Structure 1
Amino acid sequence: MPSGPPLSRGGRLVVPAIHVLQGVLLMKHVDRVTLLRGISRFLQLAAGVALTSFAYAVFQVPFNIAPGGVGGLGVVVSHYTGISVGLLYLLLNIPLLVLGFFNLGRWPFVLRTLLVVAVFSYLTDFFLAIIPRLVMQFPLTDDVLLSTIYGGIVGGIGAGLLYRSGATDGGTSILGRVIQLRTGMPLSQVFLWTDGLIVVTMGLVFGWEISLYALLALFLYGMASDYVLEGPRSIRTVSIITDRRDEMTRAIISELGRGVSMWPIQGGYTGETHWVVFCTVHRPQVNDIKRIVAGVDKDAFVTIAEGHQALGKGFSPLR
């Protein structure tokens, strides 16, 4: 028996109140999620710019070290002109921001980056002016190597937080993206040339030992920012070639709680058919997987590889 509209009055459909309530609750949930996401981005951006400017002012500027980019160029120009490195960072970024606006064409990106550049410039000069005993006269350490290491790591953590918030610290990040779009050159090669040229310039001005320290800072900077962006590479992918696929699968699922995939293969030498049982595990579970395989099939062949990242059920959520 066909059913008509749930409620009607005067020839007009009246939506049940429960549907309206569900819609309101859904909108509130979406607004709450959006608000929390915006707050998270803002906090990451604020922490990122604070850490990068602190590392630059406290660990790098006193020793004329910077891991390439506009920061390194600012140290060189400041050496000859006497202009503060914070102001130079802002001035040198202005043409790059204009270049990014016309070539990348993303207002939110440009505005976020402009905000980062402005706050970074202010905080750099703030740290250099307010705590001169720690920064210029009495650095946290007189050891150039320690300053290089901590400057690279702290600055890299800050840069990683900036990237996660959807912004960058400007400079060669914008230039590199524009060159990539224009030429098709991989971004890693673009950064190698741009930052490498600035590091060489620092070597010509301050000596090659400073240039070597800057290269070390650049390396640590990249490692730290990658770690913040992607997290520790703590997963392993395991491929097990076995003739006892069912027992192997049951043991892995029951003891480790990990899903597996299987497919048949043929041996190149014997021509015999075997099975590959594939699974992804956390690093602490590697010894467990070895024990399970040995207990099920001592004739199995196992390869264990370092995975870059695992997203999905049982690992990091997809976002």
Structure 2
Amino acid sequence: MNTRALLEPMGSWAWWRSWIQLLIGCMIMGSGFVLFINPYNIVPGGVYGAGIVMHNIFPSIQVGTFGYMFDIPLMLTAVLVFGGQFGARTVAAALFTPGYMNIMTRLVYSDAAFTADGINLDPAYLLGGSVNLSNDLLLACIMGSVVIGVGQAIVVRTQATTGGTDIVGMLLQKYAGIKFSTGIFIADSVVVLAGLVVIGFGLGSASGEGAGWVLSLYSLVTIFLASRVIAYALDGASYDKLLFIISDEHAALKKFVIEDLDRSATFLKARGMYTDKEKDMIFLVVNRKQVHLVQRKIQEIDPKAFVVVTDAYDTYGEGFKPFPEAGTIQAQ
């Protein structure tokens, strides 16, 4: 439980900003579903993916309404596990998003989509058919993945979730040590299998060119892309770089690292397997933008140096990221 957040004054700008950010994230995510996912019966996991599956069985009930049905038990779990403050925001997101999706669906679909038999989410009725991507489902997947992923990441940055498999992913991270985005992928895959049975094998109401088992492949693409967008938005794409440098020009390299890079490094004892000679190896972490500068400088100082460069996915400490607080959500 984030006790520091609880102690923030109710009128502080940081408190209001976090809630505004939460609602904006929910709106972005809901828009991604309504505009790019629901009309094409793509099932990108989550409670709303499950809602799409159920909508094909019970077309008179909107996808967002099924979201309420699935979210409530998971939402209660989040309150119990992650505490009052976290639970409050999760409750708000879980209650706001399905209602927003239902309202937006009503606004962007023409009256012809609402019949006595149910709600027809045919994209031909969506905004007068102006955004009909029926013949380009891959583009619909990409657009939906990006919009949904950005929305979910914004919500997670407020230390909340949009409910559903977000909560499952967080539980897996907390108790099983599974990456947050990987946990979502696993949980969502179960929903995709349900979509394959109901929509892919024709047990639901979906029919025509847009229906078929191939939609499950698009669903998997959507899940993967959305999880990558979440990870990118939370952690960024510029991972730090870890360099192992073996050189005889220690003094020059030390001066360069300390004075020019304004960083520090560590000498590690190493011994060559072929020569059996002991040498000092430099252990250095820099950001992505600095790695080429370091490589050029090493070439200038000691062209015979041996250098290994690899990704440092997370780097904590002075000059890098602060250590995460207990209970915070991470995308890795």
Whether TM-score is above 0.5 comes out as yes
Letter in 2 for 1:258: R
Could you list the per-position Cα deviations for residues 92-143 of structure 1 after superposition, in whole angstroms to 9, with x for gaps in the alignment? 21122234445x1622222211110111011101211112267365252412
Equivalent residues in 2 for 1:68-147 (5 A)?
68-82=45-59, 83-102=61-80, 104=81, 106-132=83-109, 135=126, 137-138=128-129, 140-142=131-133, 143-147=136-140
The change in CA–CA distance for 1:58 and 1:256 in structure 2 (over 3 A counts) is same
Distance across 1 between alignment mates of 2:317 and 2:170: 30
Correspondence for 1:233 among 238, 244, 251: 238
- Structure 1 residues not aligned, in runs of 5+: 1-29
Could you list the per-position Cα deviations for residues 175-213 of structure 1 after superposition, in whole angstroms to 9, with x for gaps in the alignment? 45557778x474667545432121011122222211111
The change in CA–CA distance for 1:153 and 1:98 in structure 2 (over 3 A counts) is same
Q: Does the 8 Å CA contact 2:26/2:97 hold for their aligned counterparts?
A: yes
Correspondence for 2:297 among 278, 292, 308: 292
| Corresponding pairs, count | 288
Aligned residue number for residue 114 of structure 2: none
**SS of match in other structure, 1:239:** strand
Q: Does the 8 Å CA contact 1:57/1:135 hold for their aligned counterparts?
A: no
Distance across 2 between alignment mates of 1:100 and 1:56: 23
Distance across 1 between alignment mates of 2:186 and 2:199: 20
Distance across 2 between alignment mates of 1:138 and 1:265: 66
- Give me the TM-score of the superposition, normalised by structure 1: 0.81
Aligned residue number for residue 26 of structure 2: 49
Equivalent residues in 2 for 1:155-166 (5 A)?
155-166=148-159
Offset of 1:315 from its aligned partner?
4.0
Letter in 1 for 2:83: R
Could you list the per-position Cα deviations for residues 248-296 of structure 1 after superposition, in whole angstroms to 9, with x for gaps in the alignment? 1112333333322222222222221111112222223222211211122
Q: Does the 8 Å CA contact 2:126/2:132 hold for their aligned counterparts?
A: no
When the two chains are superposed, the root-mean-square deviation of aligned CA atoms in Å is 2.7
Could you list the per-position Cα deviations for residues 58-110 of structure 1 after superposition, in whole angstroms to 9, with x for gaps in the alignment? 110001113101111100111111201111111221122234445x1622222
**SS of match in other structure, 2:126:** helix
Instruction: Report which stretch shifted further, 139-148 or 75-84.
Output: 139-148
Q: Does 1:200 align with 2:177?
A: no
The change in CA–CA distance for 1:96 and 1:276 in structure 2 (over 3 A counts) is same
Q: Does the 8 Å CA contact 1:56/1:66 hold for their aligned counterparts?
A: no
Correspondence for 2:42 among 57, 62, 65: 65
Offset of 1:243 from its aligned partner?
2.0
Letter in 1 for 2:105: L
Letter in 2 for 1:260: A
Identical positions, percent: 27
**SS of match in other structure, 1:166:** coil
Distance across 2 between alignment mates of 1:47 and 1:100: 21
Aligned residue number for residue 10 of structure 1: none
**SS of match in other structure, 1:309:** coil
Q: Does the 8 Å CA contact 2:316/2:323 hold for their aligned counterparts?
A: yes
- Give me the TM-score of the superposition, normalised by structure 2: 0.78
Which structure: greater helix fraction? 1
Structure of greater Rg:
1
Distance across 2 between alignment mates of 1:209 and 1:158: 26
Correspondence for 2:251 among 243, 246, 249: 246
- Structure 2 residues not aligned, in runs of 5+: 1-6, 111-124, 201-212, 325-332
